[in-house]
Structure 1
Amino acid sequence: MATVSTNELHDPNAGHGHVKGGLAGLVMGAVGVVFGDIGTSPLYTMKEAFIEHYGLVANHDTVLGVLSLAFWSLMIVVTLKYVTVIMNADNEGEGGIMALMALAQRTLPKTSRSAYAVGILGIFGASLFFGDGVITPAITTLSAVEGLGVAAPALQHWVVPIALVILVCLFASQRYGTAKVGKVFGPVMVLWFVSIAVIGVVNITKAPETLKALNPVWGMNFFIDHGWHGIFILGAVVLAVTGGEALYADMGHFGARPIRYAWYFFVLPCLVLNYLGQGALILSNPLSVSNPFFEAVPAWARIPMVVLATAAAVVASQAVITGAYSVARQAMQLGYIPRMQIRHTSSDTIGQIYVPGINWFLMIAVIVLVLTFRDSTRLATAYGISVSGTMFIDTLLLGLVAYRLWPRQRMWVIPLCVLFGVVEIAFIIANGVKFFDGAWFPLLLGLVTFTLLRTWRRGRELLRAEMQSEGIQLDTFLDGLMLSPPIRVPGTAVFMTADKGVVPHALLHNLKHNKVLHERNVFLTVESLTVPYAHTGQRLKVVRVGDGCYKIIVRFGFMETPDVPQALMRCADMGEICIDPMDTTYFASRETILASANRGMPVWRDKLFALMHRNAAPATGFFRIPSNRLVELGAQVRI
């Protein structure tokens, strides 16, 4: 197999047309959208490190040790791994675990066990991402509103109700899109980062000793002083790097260069200054460990800071929610989840979508989470395990891509992957011990999501195999049909089929009940590619197979929203067939799944697949086929 750098396929330093503007505008947009999750981590990271669970005393060496671990985690995991290295592993400009999985699978034979294993890894990582998508809005919003307890202790009992109102309003407003609100995300987050940096500098001046934490020796001394069980503090330190996956996932919207500039020269310095400032405050006043972020704020500024923190939490939550929409769309296109309704909320920005099913699922899960844990300290025990798992899977996939596609760079990238893997395994171990304290929740959610995704994928394979076994070869059927053709009627009939070599059930039913054949008949198959966008030459393939009959394959990338009628209109440009939308009727079959014992999957998974299939959005709606030009015919299939 020829080895080729992914950068030769697409320039990762440029956006994919999702966001318009010069470099400065892209940097501002990246600050507003990409860094919301990691930017709000100072709200709870240091507070979590000194809770009773870890048994740490806020003395000089311990504070500097924790700060050093947080700083070097940011440098190794976020700066080196995500911002510097992994952004070079773009799938034609797109990032994120699904894009990385698709890129890795392209380097392997489709039917190999390695490709299967890569698919399992990628889907499990995506499942864990959904767990992160549930926890992030809950913990960031709760942490921000909890500032009321510091500014006005009498309002402490209002924290949970206020957080719930904010979250419900956030999810309810998704249907209107974020185009208008998104314009203020950048300025809000710039103000947020500048504010936390200023607060950090003011507190550092009170205890400059905290600057020593930049020396990694303090982090190593922490483990020496606390022994082997010192590794458990990484369960809190990992909170500082949550959101690293978002930097990579949003690369297709802004490009690598704007994200890198924003991180290197603005976001990272602001975060480090705030963490050092919190450490300085704890050194000078150990009692402030109860909530060092808000304790570091002057009393007169605490209420405004609660408002700003809440706004930043909304931005962080919005970034995770829209990220979940994007991952869901990619998974639909790659065949891992049932088709769902997708609404475009902007006529200018292709990335602005709204997926109602995902939105309401996330809202219900977030509300349950807030009502169950009720404060950010308890919720933080559940945070981290899904993030660590996703990061580790990213590292494994990165190593495979480097080995297969980067012959020149793999000599240094693969050793770095070993370093990243060691750090992330330590994070997983540290968070794993919190299993019974709350870490079970994201793991359970991830396992449930993984089961659903794998069941859908496997069920679709079994359904296709069953239909192939019972099907009639199309070429043979057409030859026999034309020996004694039925009545031909004007117009074009498009028969949708997942298997281009088998006669569609809809055609058989049409011939049986209507006893007619259209003047032009198209056997249409829609394929999803493992690249984000189908190139012009990939979009259509037209093959004439008989008297007025054609096989047409339409291909879409995993970041595209399929529009079949629009794609078919381009057939005329190829000189094969002119498909007039007003003279075309689409025929589709909708299968009813019947579960069977001792065939395919266990019966419970067969029934689960049947339920998912029954509630999936019709392919016709997903492919934007007009309902007034559609005829659906049913069929029963036993798997």
Structure 2
Amino acid sequence: MCIHDHKISPTLMPNCFTGSEAMFADLCYFSVGSVQLTFVFLVLPCLLLGYLGQAAFLMENLTTSEQVFFSSIPSWAFWPVLLVANIAALIASRTMTTATFSCIKQSTALGCFPRLKIIHTSRKFMGQIYVPVINWFLLVFCLAFVATFGSITDIGNAYGTAELGIMMMTTILVTIIMLLIWQINIFIVLLFVIFFLGLELVFFTSVLGSAEAGSWVLLIFAAILFMIMYIWTYGSKLKYESEVKQKLSMDLMMELGCNLGTIRAPGISLVYNELVKGIPAIFGHFLTTLPAIHSMIIFVCIKYVPVPVVPQSERFLFRRVCPKSYHMFRCIARYVVSQCFGHGHDLILLEH
């Protein structure tokens, strides 16, 4: 955050505990009650005292060019606060990478982001994942960002833009939850939006005035990320519509007969597609190009459903596609977004 020409760094002490927020959301390490109590009785007082103290220090030292956060604390508390600040930075970096991995995994499951290699590091906790490409990207991007600017003022401007963007997005998402899930009175929702979003927009317009001093990097990065997600979503939609239009008709399958006009070799063939009904066009390409096809064919479709838990008995839905002599089946694997595995692991489960 930047006010005029003075440098203000966020209070770092509460970050040791605010990091638990993302860990709770991603890995369920902490209970809801513990997070609520910590935020109300520890984080909020620390933030208020920290920011009010810095504001009071600025009012008394308008011409200071030092780092306000460390200049406003007593000299005897410098080293303890520096130690806590470094611990908070370590926790914040761990939280950021965990939250990024979780967002990428869920975006991939929803079809909003290109598929990446996701490694599940624990068999007990489903949320513990590692995305090598994203991890290396964060490393390179952070080093390039710090090396390019090298000024805490520019980094502070970028931080303020990112923080206000998160606050506005949180307000928008809470508004949607209030309308669709909690079903709160529309007038109360409007008051909530006008007050909080209006206040956040005022601050956001102020930080946009310093966009050329560091904030432009995050704005460009957000625009590039949005374009990647938009293009991938648009392309996935076109691909699905194409599969629906070009799927093979049942009349054609009946004309080919139970041998499908080719040689049926022993074994099981798994054909992954997005269709929940019908035979994909790619299967017709297999029939015309491959010298033989397996004796049992299973069309695998993985869907992610918006429910908290999918019972084990309802996770895999099997049904016959053609008459019994064809030995063709469809398997719909249903997963919650937070329960999804890599696609390769799903196919191995189905094959067994």
TM-score range, shorter chain: 0.7 to 0.9
In the alignment, structure 1 residue 556 sits paired with structure 2 residue 335: yes
Counterpart for residue 359 of structure 1: 135
- Report SS of the residue matched to 1:492: strand
Q: Is the CA contact (8 Å cut-off) linking 1:334 and 1:530 kept in structure 2? A: no
Q: Residue 484 of structure 1: CA displacement?
A: 5.5
Matches within 5 A, 1:181-580: 246=22, 249-250=25-26, 254-279=30-55, 281=57, 290-299=66-75, 301-408=77-184, 410-473=186-249, 475-482=250-257, 485=260, 486-504=262-280, 507-531=283-307, 533-536=309-312, 538-545=314-321, 546-547=323-324, 548-562=327-341
**Deviation per CA, 1:416-459, whole angstroms, max 9, x where unpaired?**
12211111111221122122222221111101110011001111
Deviates more, 1:313-322 or 1:528-537: 528-537
Q: Is the CA contact (8 Å cut-off) linking 1:402 and 1:414 kept in structure 2? A: no
Counterpart for residue 221 of structure 1: none
Q: Which amino acid aligns with 2:89?
A: A
- Report SS of the residue matched to 1:541: strand
Pick closer, same or farther for the CA change 1:532–1:435 going to 2, 3 Å: farther
Matches within 5 A, 1:152-163: none
Q: Residue 414 of structure 1: CA displacement?
A: 3.6
> C-alpha distance in 2, partners of 1:258/1:244?
10
Pick closer, same or farther for the CA change 1:467–1:451 going to 2, 3 Å: same
> C-alpha distance in 2, partners of 1:563/1:533?
18
Q: Is the CA contact (8 Å cut-off) linking 1:540 and 1:553 kept in structure 2? A: yes
Pick closer, same or farther for the CA change 1:502–1:549 going to 2, 3 Å: same
- Report SS of the residue matched to 1:489: strand
**Deviation per CA, 1:120-170, whole angstroms, max 9, x where unpaired?**
xxxxxxxxxxxxxxxxxxx88xx99xxxxxxxxxxxxxxxxxxxxxxxxxx
Q: Which amino acid aligns with 1:418?
A: I
Pick closer, same or farther for the CA change 1:341–1:192 going to 2, 3 Å: closer
**Deviation per CA, 1:72-110, whole angstroms, max 9, x where unpaired?**
xxxxxxxxxxxxxxxxxxxxxxxxxxxxxxxxxxxxxxx
Pick closer, same or farther for the CA change 1:538–1:392 going to 2, 3 Å: farther
Q: Residue 323 of structure 1: CA displacement?
A: 0.8
Pick closer, same or farther for the CA change 1:191–1:408 going to 2, 3 Å: closer
> C-alpha distance in 1, partners of 2:183/2:14?
40
Q: Is the CA contact (8 Å cut-off) linking 2:158 and 2:215 kept in structure 1? A: yes
- Report SS of the residue matched to 2:111: coil
> C-alpha distance in 1, partners of 2:174/2:232?
26
- Report SS of the residue matched to 2:265: strand
TM-score, normalization by structure 1: 0.48
Pick closer, same or farther for the CA change 1:246–1:300 going to 2, 3 Å: same
> C-alpha distance in 2, partners of 1:517/1:439?
57
Q: Residue 333 of structure 1: CA displacement?
A: 0.5
Which has the higher relative contact order, 1 or 2, with Cα contacts under 8 A spaced 6 or more apart?
A: 1
In the alignment, structure 1 residue 51 sits paired with structure 2 residue 5: yes
> C-alpha distance in 2, partners of 1:249/1:261?
16
Pick closer, same or farther for the CA change 1:319–1:368 going to 2, 3 Å: same
Q: Residue 524 of structure 1: CA displacement?
A: 1.1
Q: Residue 350 of structure 1: CA displacement?
A: 1.9
Q: Which amino acid aligns with 1:529?
A: V
> C-alpha distance in 2, partners of 1:514/1:461?
28
- Report SS of the residue matched to 2:200: helix
Q: Residue 374 of structure 1: CA displacement?
A: 0.7
> C-alpha distance in 1, partners of 2:15/2:115?
39
> C-alpha distance in 2, partners of 1:248/1:349?
13
Pick closer, same or farther for the CA change 1:439–1:333 going to 2, 3 Å: same
> C-alpha distance in 1, partners of 2:83/2:347?
51
Q: Residue 483 of structure 1: CA displacement?
A: 5.6
Matches within 5 A, 1:607-626: none
Q: Residue 402 of structure 1: CA displacement?
A: 2.2
**Deviation per CA, 1:384-406, whole angstroms, max 9, x where unpaired?**
23332343233334333323333
Matches within 5 A, 1:35-74: 48-49=2-3, 51-52=5-6
Q: Residue 299 of structure 1: CA displacement?
A: 3.9
The unaligned stretches of length 5 or more in structure 1 are 1-44, 54-65, 67-138, 145-188, 194-241, 571-578, 582-639
- Report SS of the residue matched to 1:348: coil
Q: Residue 253 of structure 1: CA displacement?
A: 5.0
Q: Which amino acid aligns with 2:67?
A: N
Q: Is the CA contact (8 Å cut-off) linking 1:403 and 1:414 kept in structure 2? A: no
- Report SS of the residue matched to 2:117: coil
Q: How many residues align?
A: 348
**Relative to total residues, which structure has the larger helix share, 1 or 2?**
1
Q: Is the CA contact (8 Å cut-off) linking 1:554 and 1:564 kept in structure 2? A: no
Q: Is the CA contact (8 Å cut-off) linking 1:526 and 1:554 kept in structure 2? A: yes
Deviates more, 1:406-415 or 1:324-333: 406-415
> C-alpha distance in 2, partners of 1:430/1:191?
25
Q: Which amino acid aligns with 2:101?
A: Y
Deviates more, 1:242-251 or 1:453-462: 242-251
Pick closer, same or farther for the CA change 1:492–1:557 going to 2, 3 Å: same
> C-alpha distance in 1, partners of 2:271/2:109?
20
Pick closer, same or farther for the CA change 1:452–1:315 going to 2, 3 Å: same
